Amino acid sequence: MTSIQARLGIGLVSTLVVLFFLQWAIVTYSLEHLSEEFLLTRLEQETEGILAVLQVEPDGKLVIPKDRLVDAYRRSFSGHYFRIEAGNHVLKSRSLWDKDLPRVLAAPGEVKVAYVTGPTNQPLILRTAGYEKFGIRVTISLGHDLSEFKSDRAELMVAYGGISGTALLLLIIIQMLTVRRGLRPIEKVRAQLRAIEHGELTELSENAPKEIRPLVKEINRLLRLLGQRMQRSRNSLGNLAHALKTPLTVLAQLSNERSIKSNPELARRYIEQVEIIRRLTERELKRARLAGAGMAGRRFEPSTDIPPLIATLESIYRKKDLALDIDFPENAKTPVDREDMMEMLGNLVDNACKWARKRVKLEVNTDKDLVFLIEDDGPGVPPDRLTKLAQRGVRIDEATTGHGLGLAIVVDTADHYGGDVYFGRSARLGGFMVRVRIPLKRST
């Protein structure tokens, strides 16, 4: 079981149910016991009343004067019965009519209680007590109908059960709410983690209950560490680039020296090799700088990051007087690294501006995946070269001039994010078209 809420819920609910069931059982048992005690006390009193008015005639016949008897004993099948036995004589209440109570005998001073079926098949409690009166042994059995009593008790039990059930239900609901409330900070942390993944937050709020605060702090520490590590590694790559490229520039400058220029073949080979080193350095450094999916860095937000990039490209291509048509979603946030996306977009739009005659179009979409669509009205790429561009593993930078290194970096970046790049001809502008798709993991 993985949900704390379910675990706590099941634990609490089962405890409550057991508790309520036990309580119900005890109450039921006590109620039954008490009411029986009460009934038996009444029967005892009545038995003694009957004993007091019982007369034995000389022939041993048992007589109770009519006016000394409760009505209920005379009304047939009233639910109140007696049976008195002394010697060979038996006296039954009139209410028994032609039926009889089971014959139970008791020695003087002895009391027996039995549950029997009465004359009209109703349940009876039968109390039998033995006495000695006028020197003879008398056994008096008093029967009392239990059906009404039982149905009263059942009603009571139903009412009681109903109240108990409602109380149980209420308690369960309160507990569920308490559990949910108690777990709300965890839910909040989970929502914040999702926001971090989507680049809306950079760290968790440390205003959390003390049980989870160490966890929150640890996550924040790791996030910071990851960010710092990446920044450090990017900085050192920047330094490395600087350290490598400056001497490379000096090498390139040397090709202008008279002694090299005077030998065109040497100059050509020299320039060619310097160019190869430049391309390799560039590509490998850019590849190494990629943050890739799931890394902590500043997140890419089209509406904040694209305008300055476009402004930069406009100043670079000021002389060309291009019409840049840019479309991106306002206020969209993406969980991908800003520098990676800037590099990719910069290369794509730069490439388009380089080849465009007048128009460049950029569309950014973040609805499902992050999609960049870049089109220009330049010469485009011939179909046979398009297939080459689409082939995986082809070193684009080696295979082409112009649409070179930039596109190779775009493909590397898209690969890094598990996305894909499609090259084609723009239907709208007639030139080159690149479509990049970066999947946005909307994980929960």
Partner 1 sequence: MRILIVEDDEALSQSLRKELKSAGFAVDVANNGVDGQYMGEVEPYDAIVLDLGLPKRPGLEVLRQWRTKSIRTPVLVLTARDAWHEKVEGFKAGADDYLGKPFHTEELVARLNAIIRRSAGISANELSVGTLVLDEDKQTVQNKQGEVLELTGTEFRLLRYFMHNPGKVLSKGRLTEHVYDYDSEKDSNVIEVYIKRLRQKLGQDVIETRRGQGYVFEAKSG
Residues at the interface with partner 1 (CB under 8 A): 238-239, 241-254, 256, 274, 278, 286, 289, 308-309, 311-312, 315-316, 318-319, 338-339, 342-343, 345-347, 350
CA distance 276 to 24: 89
Q: Which is nearer to partner 1, 101 or 241 (CB)?
A: 241
Closest CA to 431 of 316, 336, 354, 319: 354
Q: Which is nearer to partner 1, 258 or 392 (CB)?
A: 258
Closest approach of Cβ 201 to partner 1, in Å? 21
Closest approach of Cβ 14 to partner 1, in Å? 58
CA distance 113 to 91: 19
Closest approach of Cβ 256 to partner 1, in Å? 6
Q: Which is nearer to partner 1, 308 or 402 (CB)?
A: 308
Q: Kind and range of the H or E element at 197?
A: helix 147-197
Beta bridge partners of 433: 375, 424
- Are the C-beta atoms of residues 51 and 138 closer than 8 Å to each other? yes
Beta bridge partners of 18: none
- Are the C-beta atoms of residues 94 and 73 closer than 8 Å to each other? yes
425 Cβ neighbours under 8 A, 6+ residues apart: 380, 381, 386, 431, 432, 433
- Are the C-beta atoms of residues 298 and 338 closer than 8 Å to each other? yes
Closest approach of Cβ 194 to partner 1, in Å? 26
Q: Which is nearer to partner 1, 53 or 316 (CB)?
A: 316
For tokens 């190494």, what's the residue? 288
Closest approach of Cβ 288 to partner 1, in Å? 12
Structure tokens at 102: 């089971």
Closest approach of Cβ 184 to partner 1, in Å? 39
Q: Is 139 exposed, middle or buried, given 0-12, 13-18 or 19+ CB atoms closer than 10 A?
A: buried
Q: Which is nearer to partner 1, 44 or 339 (CB)?
A: 339
Q: Kind and range of the H or E element at 80?
A: strand 80-86
- Are the C-beta atoms of residues 127 and 112 closer than 8 Å to each other? yes
Q: Which is nearer to partner 1, 313 or 381 (CB)?
A: 313
Q: Which is nearer to partner 1, 55 or 253 (CB)?
A: 253
Closest approach of Cβ 373 to partner 1, in Å? 18
CA angle 251/257/263 to nearest 5° reads: 105
Q: Which is nearer to partner 1, 55 or 246 (CB)?
A: 246
Closest approach of Cβ 343 to partner 1, in Å? 5
